[in-house]
Structure 1
Amino acid sequence: MEKHVSWNDKYKVGHNLIDSQHKQLFDIADKLYEVAYEKDPYRDIDISLILQDLARYVNYHFSCEEELMRESNYSGIEEHCDKHSTFKTYVASLVSDFSRGNSVNMRELYNFVSSWLVEHIGSEDKKLADCVATEK
């Protein structure tokens, strides 16, 4: 079983809006974990709802972050947005595949999402929050 990664204060970047949105993303990852490791991993209704929730919230969160980058003239905006785009494309392809009746490996998805969150928040989003903090 993969290690369960939950939100805690070590993931705070120091920007209230970003931190609250990251917490919500970890909450969605918790649902992925539950379906992947604790429930029947093939409950289609749960999988469909979680995938839709993930796709919706990722799009919302990334648009908020990208607006913040534009407002603060963040120098790393292009690279950061590219990483967002790659993640959004991956999630969108899973939603599309699942809606066409293909299965989704929920353990693989959880491992990808949780690893991505930890890495992205710890590096990219921390740099963004530091930039925004110096703008004030």
Structure 2
Amino acid sequence: MENRDEKRGFSWMTVLIKTSRGVVVYLFGIHIVAIFTLWLIEIDVIFSSLLSMLICLSLFVYCRRYLGVMRHKRLTQLRLDKQNQCFLSFSDNSLKGPYSLKGSVIFNVALIMYLRSGKHLLSKPVFIPKDAVDDKAWRHLRVRLRDPDSWD
């Protein structure tokens, strides 16, 4: 199995992940549309103000998670080794892993990897937009995730 993987270029793969402009535009756009829609429907001002604050809180939470706002650690690197173990590097120089690949969903503009560690029953989803990685790494990652031998 190792020889076949080495022939395909699967020995050790590192993917650098940057901040995605598409995710930034989407997050701000969808939250602004939600607030405008809320104010256009005629409901009580106090209730709509409360819901607007909840929408702003939602925007803050997503900005922390996907953009690293307020020193929250952001995913910066993904590494896959020969045994299909995945390691995640974050912006605070921490390294987590090993995770095993349990599944993936691949779209044209993004992909979602489901990773599981040995001590947790639930899978950890990792969202990677296309504009957050370079084109060569994007192609290699898609090929690697489509290979059924890379899944546990």
State which structure, 1 or 2, has the greater radius of gyration over its C-alpha atoms: 2
Normalising by structure 1, we get a TM-score of 0.31
Q: Which structure shows the bigger proportion of residues in helix conformation?
A: 1
Greater strand fraction, Structure 1 or Structure 2: 2
Which structure has more RCO (C-alpha within 8 Å, separation ≥ 6)?
1
Structure 2 length normalisation: TM-score? 0.28
